[in-house]
């Protein structure tokens, strides 16, 4: 980091880097503590040492835990208490607290965004949408956790990036902004939609043992970023998911290379005999 900061003199640092997959965090929590907490501390210390105009932390709605399925009136706001479920979300919440502590203690100019589930190009093939696209294309079973009723609030990745850009330019230092598009879908709805778009039969869907501690519902209230910064999502889900599927069809080499490597062992471990 010293070398990087001395060579590049960054004025704005945006920390996207993380171990990001909940299932992997259940298998190996310590890796998540190292990357997500100590990695964040390393960047924050470098920012203190070399000076910075802004440090932005890319966080997640998962720091708020989950909401019940039968209370569609409830949403996460920026003041919802942190209440994490997985080693992944615990490590992200810890990182958020460190970022805020560096603001209070050292006066570091920080902002944090907590976004709902992203989808779009270059999504790593272990995540729900690319996994289902890849399996459906290969006529392989589509492994859905539990009954597939868990709800996520999906946002096209470019809308997330636009929100981050806006927060860096116009957001208030020391503040947290929730980012989400009021686009809640059950996992099973997403999988059925992918089958339909690819012309594959729903008989490929297989229900597998649920994820440990599986969060039921995430739903973001994005009022603050809308009122203060004028952000609104631009891509409708129907358009975004079609664009995403098209991207995976046109960029098979990118994800096929990933799937053929170490990922194969991971896949066997997660979904074999489940």
Ligand X SMILES: NC(=O)c1ccc[n+]([C@@H]2O[C@H](COP(=O)([O-])OP(=O)(O)OC[C@H]3O[C@@H](n4cnc5c(N)ncnc54)[C@H](O)[C@@H]3O)[C@@H](O)[C@H]2O)c1
Q: Which residues bind ligand X (CB under 6 A)?
A: 16-20, 35, 39, 58, 60, 92, 115, 117-118, 124
Closest CB to ligand X among residues 43, 204 = 43
Closest CB to ligand X among residues 141, 211 = 211
Rounded least distance, CB 257 to ligand X, Å: 15
Report the distance separating Cα 210 and Cα 98, nearest Å: 32
Rounded least distance, CB 167 to ligand X, Å: 13
- Catalytic residue status for 102: no
Contact 179, 160 (CB under 8 A): yes
Rounded least distance, CB 249 to ligand X, Å: 20
Alpha-helical (H) ranges within the chain are 2-8, 22-27, 29-32, 39-50, 87-106, 128-137, 157-170, 187-198, 223-229, 237-250, 252-260, 263-271
Closest CB to ligand X among residues 118, 244 = 118
**Would you say the C-alpha torsion 101, 104, 109, 110 has a positive or negative sign?**
positive
Question: Which is the catalytic residue, given 19, 62, 184, 215?
Answer: 62
- Catalytic residue status for 263: no
Rounded least distance, CB 69 to ligand X, Å: 20
Contact 90, 154 (CB under 8 A): no
Closest CB to ligand X among residues 16, 106 = 16
Q: Which residues are catalytic?
A: 61-62, 88
């Amino acid at each position: 980091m010293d070398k990087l900061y001395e060579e590049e003199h960054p004025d704005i640092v945006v920390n996207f880097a993380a171990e990001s997959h909940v299932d992997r965090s259940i298998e190996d929590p310590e890796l998540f503590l190292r990357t997500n907490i100590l990695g964040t501390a390393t960047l924050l210390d470098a920012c203190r040492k070399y000076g910075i105009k802004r440090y932005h932390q890319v966080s997640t709605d998962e720091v708020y835990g989950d909401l019940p399925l039968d209370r569609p009136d409830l949403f996460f706001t920026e003041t919802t208490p942190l209440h994490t479920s997985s080693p992944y979300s615990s490590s992200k919440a810890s990182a958020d607290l460190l970022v805020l502590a560096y603001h209070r203690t050292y006066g570091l100019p920080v902002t944090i965004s907590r976004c709902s589930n992203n989808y779009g190009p270059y999504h790593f093939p272990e995540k729900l949408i690319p996994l289902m696209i890849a399996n459906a294309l290969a006529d392989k079973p589509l492994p859905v956790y539990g009954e597939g009723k868990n709800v996520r609030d999906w946002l096209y990745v470019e809308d997330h990036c636009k929100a981050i850009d806006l927060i860096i330019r116009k957001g208030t230092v020391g503040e947290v902004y929730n980012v989400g598009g009021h686009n809640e879908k059950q996992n099973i709805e997403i999988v059925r939609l992918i089958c339909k778009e690819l012309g594959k039969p729903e008989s490929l869907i297989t229900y597998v043992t649920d994820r440990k501690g599986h969060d039921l519902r995430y739903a973001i209230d994005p009022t603050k970023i809308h009122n203060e910064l004028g952000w609104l999502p631009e891509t409708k889900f129907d358009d975004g998911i079609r664009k995403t599927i098209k991207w995976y069809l046109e960029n098979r080499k990118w994800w096929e290379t990933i799937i053929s490597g170490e990922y194969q062992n991971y896949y066997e471990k997660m979904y074999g005999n489940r």
